[in-house]
Structure 1
Amino acid sequence: MPPPRTHVVPQRDAVALHRVISLLNGKGGVFKTTLASNLSGLLAESGYRVLLNDLDPQGNIAEDLGYTYTDIDDEGKNLAQALSFGDPLTPVRDVRPNLDVIPGGAHLSMATAALAAKATKDPLGAKLALATALAPIAGEYDMVIIDCPPGDDTLQTAAAAASKWLLVPTKTDGSSRKGMSAIAARLSAVLDVNEDLDLLGVVLCGVGANSTSVQRTAREGIVEAFGGDVARDVVFENMVRHSEATGLAVRERGVLVHELDDVVQSGPKWYEVVRGEAKAQAHAPKSAKDVAADLLGVCQEMVQRITKAETEEAAAS
């Protein structure tokens, strides 16, 4: 008779979590939160049911979606309790039509400490804390998107363990690209609990409109970092250009870029303002149109990549 089992390795629910996407880079300021919130909003507007999970103690998703300091902003308390004690997740419903949100914020620092302590006794359980919390509700959604903190290995690992895909935003400078070294570490750290995890791609962000040579150098550097010619398709064709004016305007208003663009497009013409027939809109830069188009292109390419991978996987099974 075999000896009794004293430990059961926790299992990740791969079916429930098959469309969980984590945005991850080891460096801050590379448009992770901007991409997470805007891609979620665009998907929701196109009819997908989306859950956006703010895993960052800074909680900046609240600023992008305009719920900072409102009653729905618990600053990450529910998420921290789910990670630390196994409490059920309770998303905030319909922050936008079809878009639910699990807020982040300062309480997540408690979760980091709790998971670090748990890892000494139950390392697999600590890694799977977010996967365990998301699995009961992930099936309600077509996409689950996680905005990861840049410098928190514990929360990054929990996100990677819960995900099917990693999406990596980066700027073109060498310092930002160095942050991608965290990706290999996260992949290696969760192979024991999540062998399905894969890289969806790298998105260049904050790109100068006319910086063709810089873009080419950055693409070549990224491809080389991920294995040379075999990784030629790792970089998204679509990228997000730099616009400080648009970035400031969306944060001030608490809107997404395509929402800001709608406001700009519906605003008065310049000659109506000159004639005194209308008032100029405050903080409504015309660059919003270009940035909104960039984000839409990234969103469409993301869906195409996922759909292609799922089709190939189904054909192979």
Structure 2
Amino acid sequence: MGRVIAVANQKGGVAKTTTAVNLGIGLAREGKRVLLVDTDPQGSLTASLGYVEPDEIPITLANILTAVINEEEVNPSGGILHHEEDIDIMPGNIELSALEVVMGNVMSRELILKDYIDMMRERYDYILIDCMPSLGMMTINALVAADSVLIPVQAAYLPVKGLQQLIKTILMVKKRLNRGLEIQGILLTMVDYRTNYAKDITAKLRETYGSRIAIFETAIPMSVKAAETSAEGVSIYSHCPKSKVAEAYRNLTQEVLEYEK
């Protein structure tokens, strides 16, 4: 049975998609079978892996979930794209916005994505769900489908402050819909350790949450190289393998693997 990790934060611009991509490809480089699922209507993950026009892809997650809602037969491999760095992708696009509205009127609406993910568990060692930057129905679906949540947080005041609502939502989902859900850890991203500000925020985060929630030892440094990977459609390992960001994501991959032991 594969492990399902939701990469979630309702705040945008915290390197959530970058983390999903590089952790997923990092796990694939360790010999794991990996599926990345793009639940964001913006299709950020899909576009950052080289499919620059997500809205033109014929079969996406929206089509699959619509079939689940309508109780139609679902082809588990339908719509899956294969990336050159040995991962599979279930793409997302703007159609997910309309689907989220439809889901509001569906019975057991929180379980729709779980139905699909459960079909895929036997095929993969890891399934990473890149969540949209909100706490809407699609994100709730991701939390219900997941075994654990990885929370990327930019080392800045407002993103750290916004953690409270996300954690509250995760705990509510755990209590009511998915008792097995765990917070795998908080991952500090876009960290500039040359500044006292970043050091202060990091210390504050550990002081506030460290006793209740794991914080990854690895922190992802601020880097233009990481942003460039999206335009290239590849991971940081291909784009700049000797960079500090590549090394950080390699270390994060090892921490995630250790979590399973």
Fold shared, TM-score > 0.5 on shorter chain = yes
Deviations 1:45-102 (A, max 9, x none): 2210001000111111122211223875645433442454345242524323541111
2-side partners of 1:25 and 1:142: how far apart?
23
Aligned-partner residue type, residue 121 of structure 2: A
Partner of 2:214: 234
Task: Report the CA distance shift for 1:68/1:75 in structure 2 as closer, same or farther (over 3 A).
Answer: farther
Deviation at 1:151, TM superposition (A): 1.6
> Deviation string for 1:206-248 (max 9, x for gaps)?
111423x43443233323443x6x33x621111111112x144
Alignment partner of 2:70 out of 58, 71, 85: 85
**Counterparts of residues 181-200 of structure 1 (less than 5 Å):** 181=164, 182-200=166-184
Aligned to 1:69: 53
Aligned to 1:21, the other structure's residue is in SS state strand
Distance in 1 (alpha carbons) for counterparts of 2:58 and 2:226:
22
Q: Assess if the C-alpha contact under 8 Å between 2:174 and 2:180 holds in 1.
A: no
**C-alpha spacing 1:175/1:67, structure 2 compared with 1 (3 Å):** same
Matched, 1:49 2:3: no
Residue 290 of structure 1 corresponds to 244
One-letter amino acid matched to 1:77: A
1:133 matched to 2:133? The reply is no
Residue 236 of structure 2 corresponds to 257
Matches within 5 A, 1:1-317: 16=1, 19-69=3-53, 74=59, 76-82=61-67, 84-87=69-72, 88=74, 89=76, 90-118=78-106, 122=107, 125-181=108-164, 182-211=166-195, 213-226=196-209, 230-231=211-212, 234-244=214-224, 246-262=225-241, 289-307=243-261
Q: Tell me which of the two structures has the higher relative contact order, counting C-alpha pairs closer than 8 angstroms and 6 or more residues apart.
A: 2
Q: 1:86 to 1:33 in 2, by over 3 A?
A: farther
Within 2, Cα distance between the matches of 1:73 and 1:237?
40
CA 214–304 in structure 1, closer or farther in 2 if over 3 Å, else same? farther
Q: Which structure 2 segments of 5+ residues have no match?
A: none
Aligned position for 1:8: none
Given that 2:34 and 2:124 are in contact with CA atoms closer than 8 Å, whether structure 1 keeps it comes out as yes
CA radius of gyration, larger in: 1
Q: The residue matched to 2:176 in structure 1 has which SS?
A: coil
Give the direction of change, closer, same or farther, for the CA distance of 1:107–1:225 in structure 2 (3 Å limit): farther
Amino acid aligned to 1:31: A
CA contact (8 A) 2:146 2:181 kept: yes
Structure 1 residues 42 and 82: alpha-carbon distance in aligned structure 2, compared to 1, 3 A threshold:
farther
- Decide whether aligned partners of structure 1 residues 77 and 129 sit closer, same or farther in structure 2, where only a CA change above 3 A counts: closer
Across the two proteins, how many residue pairs are aligned to each other? 256
TM-score normalised per structure 1:
0.74
| Alignment-mate amino acid for residue 171 of structure 1 | Q
Query: Distance in 1 between the 2:20 and 2:61 partners?
Result: 17
TM-score by length of 2: 0.89
CA contact (8 A) 1:170 1:204 kept: yes
Q: Residue type of the partner of 1:241?
A: P
Instruction: Check the 8 A contact 2:81/2:90 in 1, yes or no.
Output: no
* Matches of 1:186 and 1:150, distance apart in 2: 14
Amino acid of the structure 2 residue aligned with 1:174: Y
Relative distance call for 1:57 and 1:169 in structure 2 (3 A) is same
2:203 and 2:243 map into 1 onto residues whose CA distance is 28
Structure 1 unaligned runs (5+)?
Answer: 1-15, 263-287, 308-317
